[in-house]
Amino acid sequence: MIETQKPLPPGQRRIGTFPRFGTHMSRPAPAVPPDPTIEVCGAVGERFHVPVVALATLPRREVRADFHCVAGWSATDLLWEGVPFESFFRQLIAPAVRDDAVVTHLVFRGIDGYQSTVMLEDALAEDVLIADRLSGRPLGGDHGAPARLLSPAQYGYISTKHLCRIEVHTSEPEDPDSASITARLLKSHPRARVWEEERHGSLPGRLVRPFYRVLKVPLLHLSARGPRR
């Protein structure tokens, strides 16, 4: 039988597995508190907490998608399940937003301190989930327990694992380190759309490909290690 595989976005290569990857490097996945919640704060009247168990009671859907890391690997045909971010936003966040506020950006934060900034428009895309299941099983520590953002049309760095807080913003939040030289060199693209190859904040994606490619193998190796939870 001939299997035709879907094309990958520019500059990506298929990897046979779904590796654990991240700035956590070899540190183990963070401990999940006994009753995990997702805190919503920022341009909302008062901050509030959504228990992760409440995801089971919201509208749910499955998303089958490829996952693309900016370093150049793509894990293909993953089956995720969770709450569409759009439903989460419309049902829980929008009613709490201050009257005078127009939401433009969201910051998604993980228990490990990682965070990603996402434009509202990108976060509301129909394939974006707060995912709590992968391959028919609850999300494990490697891939973001107890729940993570999943935005398959954007590079993996947008998809914050171990989600514990969503900050609601009315303008692009400033990165406190953005003035440093390293921050400028490493500046990731704010939209990160994989089909546009938006890898870098100011350099064309094609140009930075080779740098990521050199780093990919050692980073894959480092991120994978460490005791599993």
Ligand X SMILES: Nc1nc2c(c(=O)[nH]1)N[C@H]1C(S)=C(S)[C@@H](COP(=O)(O)O)O[C@H]1N2
Q: Which residues make up the interface to ligand X (CB under 6 A)? A: 18-24, 69, 110, 112, 114, 143-144, 156-157, 159-162
Cα-trace Rg, the chain: 17
In the complex, minimum distance from the CB of residue 149 to ligand X, in angstroms, rounded to a whole number: 8
Rounded to the nearest whole angstrom, what is the least distance from the CB of residue 95 to ligand X in the complex? 27
Candidates 36, 110, 144, 156: give the one binding Mo ion (CB under 5 A). Answer: 156
Q: Rounded to the nearest whole angstrom, what is the least distance from the CB of residue 162 to ligand X in the complex? A: 5
Question: Measured from the CB of residue 71, what is the shortest distance to Mo ion in angstroms?
Answer: 6
Q: How far is the CB of 83 from Mo ion (least distance, A)?
A: 23
Interacting partner of 151 out of ligand X, Mo ion, none (Cβ under 5 to 8 A depending on kind): none
70/166 with CB nearer Mo ion = 70
- Quick one: what does residue 24 bind among ligand X, Mo ion, none, with the CB cut-off 5 to 8 Å set by partner type? ligand X
Q: Where are the alpha helices (DSSP H) in the chain?
A: 85-88, 120-123, 181-185, 205-224
Rounded to an integer, what distance in angstroms lies between the CA atom of residue 136 and that of residue 40?
Answer: 27
Among 73, 80, 108, 157, binds Mo ion (CB under 5 A): 157
Contacts of 159 (CB under 8 A, 6+ apart): 67, 116, 144, 148, 149, 150, 151
Distance CA 50, CA 93 (A): 10
CA distance 161 to 145: 7
CA dihedral 29, 201, 107, 150 (to 10 degrees): -60
- Residue with CB nearest ligand X? 22
160 binds, options ligand X, Mo ion, none, Cβ within 5 to 8 A by partner type = ligand X
| Pairing, β 13-15 against β 73-84 | parallel
Residues within the interface to Mo ion (CB under 5 A): 69-70, 156-157
